[in-house]
Structure 1
Amino acid sequence: MLALYHVPLDLLSARRWTRHLAFFEPLPAGEEPRCEPAPVPEWSAPPTDELPVGVGAGGVLWRNPLIALSIRCIDVFSNGVDFRLGIDARKDDHVEDDEWYDLLDRFTGSFRHSRRTANRSLRVGVTLPDGDKLTADFPRRLSPEEEGGRTLVLHGGGGGGSDVRQSRTYGAWLWPLPPRGDLTLHFICEELGIPEGSATFDGGELADAATASTPIWD
């Protein structure tokens, strides 16, 4: 066991606390070093200097009395599409406390970026109009080169709530813009009992919206 000892102040020599002004060498004169921000690959997240165009209205993708998966909105940028997703949990009068708190533990665990929980986390994928398929698993598995220049990446996110309600949101960033035609979004979350499902969107509508995105800066 590690023992901690208190040293009385009267046993400390004042000489041990003498300031040694010559210990550090003077810093070299000149400009202070600047930390340049690392460039963010455009395939990894939506651009931060652009206002997207919202396409369609939000809707519930799947739900039961306790859990609901929804698409909050679809933000279209000049170079890609960001599917804004969310999961909500609520406690109703028919749920026992033990069952509810077990659900909250699994609710939080379904968003952990670890290998242990990756296979049971919320998983998202797309089938593009030309038949190509992409997934955004936890953790990310393929580079853009391995995906053939196309990627789907989960990013951002956050959430919170109370003892009776919880909510989590994040984005699924599809880069680059998909071709025209039907685009299918797939989802599953074993941890929360959400079965595999899908929703289909018009890729042509997304392509048209991309032309109306607005740069924030000139």
Structure 2
Amino acid sequence: MSFFTGGPRERPLFPVPEQELYAFNGRHWTDAPREYIVPAVLPWAQPLGRSDRTIIALRAIEVWPEALTLRVTVYSRDSLLDDPAEGLIDHRRKPDYNALLIGVLYADGSRASSETISVPSASEPESPVLRAQPAGGTRFAVEHEVFLWPLPPAGPLKLVVQWRDRDIPETRTTLDGGAIRAAAKDAAELWPGLDKRQANGLPVRRVGKQVALTPEWGPAVVRAEQPETGPAE
């Protein structure tokens, strides 16, 4: 006897075409490749900072081939947010140093933190990328995903938190960068051999300082490139 008793559903008269997943674009610094990779998971649960009524904790680390995601949850005895979807780690152009801040210090001296806004770029950045976003929870336990690129070098990776409004001073936790790098080999690719996406599905030709996308119908659509900036004279 079948467990699921229902028959096949009726197809709509005009079905919506299914969208195709194309190959990963190789920009490991923009976001976790969650559609393409099952990450290795390091269950390194530990407190990162605390006060009488608030605890900032690392729950786990997801390791991708060239990046990692820190699973960070803030616990409190009193309400943190009316809507946990808003999150507590806020990237701002002018940072609020009384709010919850998080940062990392690599063994080679490079660093990244939530003090700045990390905008995804088309070209590989010269400095590490840290990008935090809310991941649900409740009013008393707010979860976050903290994306970090690239993988740390072997040696100590220092994770730094501070939250003055909650009486949590700057607190540093040392993680094993070499163990994180070693875990990356266990991240599993889901869809090898996917087709690569064409640029807008249209042939591209250059017109002076502009790029013209030439469709098979109608006139060319011209899009201006960003001007190159040189040293001031």
Aligned length: 170
Query: Of 112, 127, 130, which residue of structure 1 is paired with 2:108?
Result: 130
The 1:147/1:137 distance shift into structure 2, 3 A limit, reads farther
The 1:113/1:132 distance shift into structure 2, 3 A limit, reads closer
The answer to whether 1:44 aligns with 2:30 is yes
Alpha-carbon distance in 1 for matches of 2:65, 2:168: 32
RMSD: 3.4
| Structure whose CA Rg is larger | 1
TM, length-normalised to structure 1: 0.64
Listed one character per residue, the Cα deviations across residues 156-184 of structure 1 (whole Å, up to 9, x for unaligned) are 422324xxxx1111122111212111111
Listed one character per residue, the Cα deviations across residues 64-110 of structure 1 (whole Å, up to 9, x for unaligned) are 3311110011111111111111101114xxxxxxxxx6x657x9784
Deviation at 1:144, TM superposition (A): 8.8
The 5-angstrom pairing of residues 192-207 of structure 1 reads 192-207=166-181
Deviation at 1:41, TM superposition (A): 4.6
Deviation at 1:121, TM superposition (A): 2.7
Query: Of 111, 122, 145, which residue of structure 2 is paired with 1:171?
Result: 145
Alpha-carbon distance in 1 for matches of 2:43, 2:98: 29
Deviation at 1:135, TM superposition (A): 1.5
Deviation at 1:207, TM superposition (A): 0.8
The 1:216/1:121 distance shift into structure 2, 3 A limit, reads farther
Query: Of 20, 32, 57, which residue of structure 1 is paired with 2:44?
Result: 57
Runs of 4+ in 1 over 6 A off after TM superposition: 141-146
What's 2:66 paired with?
A: 79
Gaps of 5+ in 2: 1-16, 193-233
Deviation at 1:150, TM superposition (A): 2.4
* Percent of residue pairs bearing the same amino acid type: 27
Deviation at 1:196, TM superposition (A): 0.6
Alpha-carbon distance in 2 for matches of 1:205, 1:141: 28
1:155–1:172 CA contact under 8 A, matched in 2 = yes
2:91–2:115 CA contact under 8 A, matched in 1 = no
The 5-angstrom pairing of residues 64-143 of structure 1 reads 64-91=51-78, 110-111=88-89, 118-137=96-115, 139-140=117-118
Alpha-carbon distance in 2 for matches of 1:196, 1:146: 30
1:79–1:175 CA contact under 8 A, matched in 2 = yes
Gaps of 5+ in 1: 1-31, 92-100
Deviation at 1:208, TM superposition (A): 0.6
**SS across alignment from 2:30:** coil
Question: Residue type of the partner of 1:43?
Answer: W
The 1:125/1:167 distance shift into structure 2, 3 A limit, reads same
**SS across alignment from 1:206:** helix
Question: Residue type of the partner of 1:70?
Answer: A
Question: Residue type of the partner of 1:42?
Answer: H
Alpha-carbon distance in 2 for matches of 1:113, 1:174: 14
